Structure 1
């Protein structure tokens, strides 16, 4: 059986993100890290994608935000 998708709604392209990687040294307190990430979220529209805590105590944080493509009107 073959599904007919020609009359259905158009599928949107997959969302694309841009990423920013921050490395926080071991000496960074939780409150300081929270403040830094909050500023990125509020003013840069970044969202938290991933956090890794490494053996030496430093953290690597991946932030992402959606790439918005503007369609031409003319």
Structure 2
């Protein structure tokens, strides 16, 4: 199972943050990055858990100084 979280920055100044996902109450984070307007950042993970496919999963973005934001829940 492939998990992908993306963030497209349309406007505003540079941010420093991390992309991740939350699954079964546990957050998984990618490496920190800096991003400017007009770019898209994507992080990808692979899960070999056979039960992963139907468990609710949320994409998350943590921005330094601004907090954490999430996507709607993805599930079967």
- Range into which the TM-score falls when normalised by the shorter chain: 0.3 to 0.5
Q: Give TM-score, length-normalised by structure 1.
A: 0.37
Higher Cα radius of gyration: 1
Higher helix residue share: 1
Instruction: Calculate the TM-score normalised by the size of structure 2.
Output: 0.36
Of Structure 1 and Structure 2, the greater strand share is in: 2
